[in-house]
C-alpha cells in the first residue's frame, strides 16, 4: 500500500470534512456511533485501509475493524468493515472514505475480469499511465489487488517511443536514431517502441528495442508480427499488445507469443463498485 496520507488530507479538505456544517450543527461532540461498510454488489475489494485512514485523519479515536483483505472476492451483503468512535468523524468522513473505496474496488474488479479472461494463455494484463491525476499510486495498487501487473509509474521509469515521437523524427529511420539517442543518454533504461505497422516493427527490431508495442493491430497482423520477431537472431524483445482492447475481445488478442496486454480502461474507465456505510 503506497503512502497516501497527503492524498487523503487533500480529499478531506476538498470536501470541507473538517467544517461539515450539517454535522457540526445537529450531532453533539460527545455522540458516539457504530457503523458498517457493506458491499452492495459482487466484485474485488480494494482500499479498506485507505477508508480507515480517512476516518482516522478526522479523529484519531475512530476505530476501524477490517473484515476482509484487499484483493478478496466479495458478494453483495458482505460486511467489509466495522467502524466505531465519534459520530461526527464517521459522518463527515463517510463520502471521502467511500469515494476511495468504491473507485479502487472498481479498478480491482475490472482488472480481475480481464485477468480471468486471459487465464491459461500465459499473457499478463498490464496497466497504463491513464489514471486520475494525483491518484496514480492508489490506482496501480488497485490493479495489483485485481491480479494485474503495474507498468511504468511515470515518464522516467522507462523510455517509451510513441507515434508522435516517431512522426517528429521521420518514420523508420527515426526509430533507430531515437533508440540510439535514448540509450546514449539513459543506458540503464528499458526502451519500449510503439509500432503501428510491420515496417515500424522491423525498425524497432533493428534498433534492438527491449519491448515492441503492437498498437491498434488486428489479431491477423499481430500473428504476422510475432512471426517476424521469432525470425530475428538477436535477443527477442518482449511483445506488448495495446489499443482497442475490451472485455469482449481481449481473449482474441491473447495470442501465443504475446507477453502482455496493456489496458488503459482498467484505470480510466472502471465503474465504481457499489459500497455503502450504514449507521447501526
* Residue 278 a catalytic site member: no
* Residue 196 a catalytic site member: no
CB atoms within 10 A of CB 274: 16
> Among the options 94, 127, 215, 240, which is catalytic?
215
* Residue 130 a catalytic site member: yes
* Residue 40 a catalytic site member: no
* Residue 95 a catalytic site member: yes
Beta bridge partners of 161: 193
What phi, psi does 47 have (nearest 5°)?
A: 105, 10
Q: Rounded to an integer, what is the distance from CA 193 to the centroid of its chain?
A: 21
Host H or E run for residue 112: helix 87-117
> Among the options 20, 94, 127, 194, which is catalytic?
194
C-alpha dihedral (132, 138, 142, 147), degrees to nearest 10: 110
> Among the options 162, 230, 232, 252, which is catalytic?
162
Question: DSSP letters of 19-59?
Answer: G-HHHHHHS-TT-EEEEEEEESS-EE---HHHHHHHHHHH-
Q: Residue 20 has which C-alpha cell?
A: 461539515
> Among the options 95, 113, 124, 176, which is catalytic?
95
> Among the options 67, 130, 183, 251, which is catalytic?
130
How far is the CA of 59 from the CAs of 51, 54, 63, 73, 117, in angstroms? 13, 9, 9, 30, 43
Q: Residues with catalytic annotation?
A: 95, 130, 162, 194, 215
Amino acid at each position: 500500500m503506497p503512502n497516501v496520507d497527503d492524498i487523503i488530507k487533500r480529499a478531506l479538505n476538498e470536501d470541507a470534512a473538517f467544517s461539515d456544517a450539517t454535522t457540526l450543527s445537529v450531532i453533539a461532540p460527545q455522540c458516539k456511533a457504530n457503523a458498517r461498510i457493506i458491499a452492495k454488489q459482487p466484485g474485488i475489494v480494494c482500499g479498506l485501509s485507505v477508508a480507515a485512514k480517512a476516518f482516522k485523519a478526522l479523529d484519531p479515536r475512530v476505530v476501524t475493524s477490517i473484515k476482509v483483505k484487499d484483493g478478496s472476492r466479495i458478494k453483495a451483503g458482505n460486511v467489509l468493515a466495522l467502524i466505531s468512535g465519534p459520530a461526527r468523524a464517521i459522518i463527515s468522513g463517510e463520502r471521502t472514505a467511500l469515494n476511495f473505496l468504491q473507485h479502487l474496488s472498481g479498478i480491482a474488479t475490472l482488472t480481475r475480469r480481464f485477468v480471468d479472461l486471459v487465464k491459461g494463455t500465459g499473457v499478463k494484463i498490464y496497466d497504463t499511465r491513464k489514471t486520475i491525476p494525483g491518484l496514480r499510486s492508489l490506482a496501480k495498487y488497485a490493479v495489483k489487488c485485481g491480479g494485474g501487473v503495474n507498468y511504468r509509474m511515470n515518464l522516467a521509469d522507462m523510455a517509451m517511443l510513441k507515434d508522435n515521437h516517431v512522426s517528429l523524427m521521420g518514420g523508420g529511420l527515426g526509430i533507430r536514431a531515437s533508440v540510439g539517442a535514448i540509450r546514449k543518454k539513459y543506458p540503464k533504461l528499458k526502451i519500449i517502441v510503439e509500432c503501428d505497422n510491420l515496417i515500424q516493427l522491423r525498425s524497432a527490431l533493428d534498433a534492438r528495442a527491449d519491448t515492441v508495442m503492437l498498437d491498434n493491430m488486428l489479431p491477423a497482423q499481430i500473428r504476422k508480427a510475432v512471426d517476424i520477431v521469432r525470425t530475428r537472431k538477436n535477443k527477442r524483445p518482449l511483445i506488448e499488445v495495446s489499443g482497442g482492447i475490451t472485455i469482449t475481445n481481449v481473449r482474441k488478442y491473447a495470442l501465443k507469443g504475446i507477453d502482455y496486454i496493456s489496458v488503459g480502461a482498467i484505470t480510466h474507465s472502471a465503474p465504481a463498485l457499489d459500497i455503502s456505510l450504514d449507521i447501526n
